[in-house]
């Protein structure tokens, strides 16, 4: 299964490559890892040979184009040399480097005082939560001006552009503490989110994500278009923590299923559905609350159905075939394709096996729900396993999930036992919460 993609698969995968679509909504610096990944795919894993010269060159070209506008001069110079086959980078790069250094120094000078101040305990202890008061205080006691605060922002920006993410994050953090300029604070928050993502500092990235989300919800409520654009960007940025940090999974899924964001995804970037579907499906065993998972599953099915006219790839087609058409054969075919797509995707590579496994569970689940008797042979074909492995797999599954099913070995079938839900049980279920809810209601009225 883990074998290198076949020639056919290769074409299929490139057809579903979302790089271009994703890149529109990501920052330059964030696209870089994606490009690196594509470059890595071109290189043969064992020998380290480059399989496809032209493609590799294209990627290098893309990298160069990407980073040309940043201030990572050394690296850009190297790329340029590689592209042009030069030994020495031309002088313009050195010039630019010099300029960048000059700027950096200038800003550092401008901000040295304020940074120093912020490191002194007596100053920090005097700061309160009120920004305006803080600024007044600093102005009065330490002659800090607005320009100095803004210089922090510029320095952070420059450092980010140089690829010095940790420092940039620090600068922006300081700036945010002091600045009262709401717009710039919002930019700084975005900047910090980018920094944290790029330094893979997921915990704080999640914090920043939350802050950005709040800003979008509150500040931009008057401007639907900007809100849509910001949400689109945030959705894309959130993919990094979603697939790299386990703890981020639930909050980000929650974020994505929030009405505002799910609408954004539907309206503006349906391709996110692939990631969403994978995340939901692989979340199967992990979710603390199976109810939420079921709800998310239902939602994703609904949305995949709605958006089928706009966006389709093997992952969504798998969901469609399985949960809407109940066409198990088609689902199986799509699963194979989906696996290859996952292996060619920067974000999903690590989750491919997980996904396949969860998907099989899903197939089996709905299979069992509908059928009373399934032939083992048929099932193993559905699951893409050989007969013995399938048997073992099913036994494990029955044990794990406590399904009410038995294997009839002689007949070669799995027999499912669907106990009809008793009427009494139904009545009990329906009236279960009644008392509690009425009490709550009474309490609420009494208030």
Cα separations (Å) of 239 from 69, 146, 177, 291? 24, 36, 27, 24
Distance CA 102, CA 357 (A): 55
| Structure-token pair, residue 52 | 């496809």
* 444 contributes a contact to other proteins by CB under 8 A: yes
Least distance in angstroms from the C-beta of 388 to other proteins: 20
What 8-state DSSP symbol labels residue 248? Answer: G
Answer yes or no: are the C-beta atoms of 242 and 249 closer than 8 Å: yes
Of 22-30, 192-200, 339-347, 368-376, the segment contacting other proteins by CB under 8 A is 368-376
Smallest Cα–Cα separation from 354: which of 32, 1, 48?
1
Distance CA 152, CA 169 (A): 11
Among 1, 166, 395, 441, binds other proteins (CB under 8 A): 441
Of 55-63, 81-89, 147-155, 427-435, the segment contacting other proteins by CB under 8 A is 427-435
Distance of CA 63 to the CA centre of its chain: 22
Least distance in angstroms from the C-beta of 254 to other proteins: 11
Binding track over 257-296 against other proteins, x by CB under 8 A: ---------xx--------------------------xx-
Least distance in angstroms from the C-beta of 253 to other proteins: 14
Question: Is the CB of 119 or the CB of 329 nearer to other proteins?
Answer: 329
* 387 contributes a contact to other proteins by CB under 8 A: no
Least distance in angstroms from the C-beta of 335 to other proteins: 18
Least distance in angstroms from the C-beta of 379 to other proteins: 8
Q: Which of residues 318-357 bind other proteins (CB under 8 A)?
A: 324-327, 329
Question: Is the CB of 101 or the CB of 326 nearer to other proteins?
Answer: 326
Distance CA 33, CA 372 (A): 49
> What DSSP string describes 103-115?
HHHHHHHHHHHHH
Distance CA 248, CA 205 (A): 9
Least distance in angstroms from the C-beta of 208 to other proteins: 27
SS3 412: coil
Answer yes or no: are the C-beta atoms of 344 and 41 closer than 8 Å: yes
Least distance in angstroms from the C-beta of 197 to other proteins: 30
Smallest Cα–Cα separation from 198: which of 235, 246, 241?
241
Residues of the shown chain interacting with other proteins in the complex, contacts defined by CB under 8 A: 266-267, 294-295, 298-299, 301-302, 305-306, 309-310, 324-327, 329, 366, 369-375, 378, 411, 413, 416, 418, 420, 423, 426-427, 430-431, 433-434, 437-438, 440-441, 444-445
């Amino acid at each position: 299964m883990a074998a290198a993609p076949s020639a056919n698969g290769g074409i299929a995968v490139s057809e579903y490559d979302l790089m271009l679509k994703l890149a529109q909504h990501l920052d330059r610096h964030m696209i870089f890892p994606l490009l690196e990944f594509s470059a890595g795919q071109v290189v043969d894993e064992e020998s380290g040979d480059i399989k496809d010269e032209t493609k590799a060159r294209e990627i290098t070209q893309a990298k160069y184009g990407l980073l040309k506008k940043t201030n990572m001069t050394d690296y850009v110079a190297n790329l340029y040399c590689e592209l042009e086959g030069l030994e020495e980078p031309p002088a313009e790069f050195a010039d630019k480097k010099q300029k960048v250094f000059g700027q950096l120094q200038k800003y550092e000078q401008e901000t040295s005082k304020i940074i120093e101040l912020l490191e002194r305990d007596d100053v920090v202890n005097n700061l309160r939560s009120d920004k305006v008061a803080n600024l007044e205080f600093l102005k009065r006691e330490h002659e800090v001006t607005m320009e100095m605060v803004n210089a922090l922002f510029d320095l952070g920006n420059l450092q980010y552009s140089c690829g010095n993410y940790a420092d940039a994050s620090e600068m922006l953090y300081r700036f945010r503490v002091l600045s009262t300029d709401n717009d710039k604070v919002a930019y700084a928050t975005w900047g910090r989110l980018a920094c944290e993502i790029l330094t893979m500092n997921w915990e704080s990235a999640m914090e920043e994500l939350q802050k950005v989300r709040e800003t979008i919800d509150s500040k931009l409520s008057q401007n639907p278009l900007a809100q849509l654009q910001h949400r689109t960007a945030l959705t894309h940025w959130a993919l990094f923590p979603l697939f790299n940090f386990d703890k981020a999974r639930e909050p980000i899924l929650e974020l994505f299923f929030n009405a505002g964001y799910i609408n954004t995804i539907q309206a503006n970037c349906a391709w996110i559905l692939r990631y969403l579907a994978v995340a939901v499906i692989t979340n199967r065993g992990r979710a603390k609350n199976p109810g939420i998972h079921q709800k998310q599953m239902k939602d994703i099915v609904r949305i995949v159905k709605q958006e089928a006219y706009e966006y389709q790839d093997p992952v969504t087609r798998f969901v469609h075939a399985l949960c809407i058409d109940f066409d198990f054969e088609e689902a199986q075919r799509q699963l194979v394709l989906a696996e290859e797509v996952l292996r060619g995707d920067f974000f999903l590579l690590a989750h491919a096996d997980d996904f396949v496994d969860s998907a099989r569970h899903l197939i089996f689940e709905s299979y069992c729900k509908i059928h009373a008797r399934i032939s083992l042979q048929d099932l193993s074909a559905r699951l893409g396993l050989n007969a013995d492995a399938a048997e073992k797999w099913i036994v494990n599954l029955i044990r794990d999930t406590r399904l009410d099913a038995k294997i009839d070995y002689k007949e070669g079938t799995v027999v499912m036992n669907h106990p009809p839900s008793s009427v009494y049980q139904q009545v009990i279920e329906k009236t279960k919460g009644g008392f509690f809810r009425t009490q709550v209601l009474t309490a609420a009225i009494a208030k």
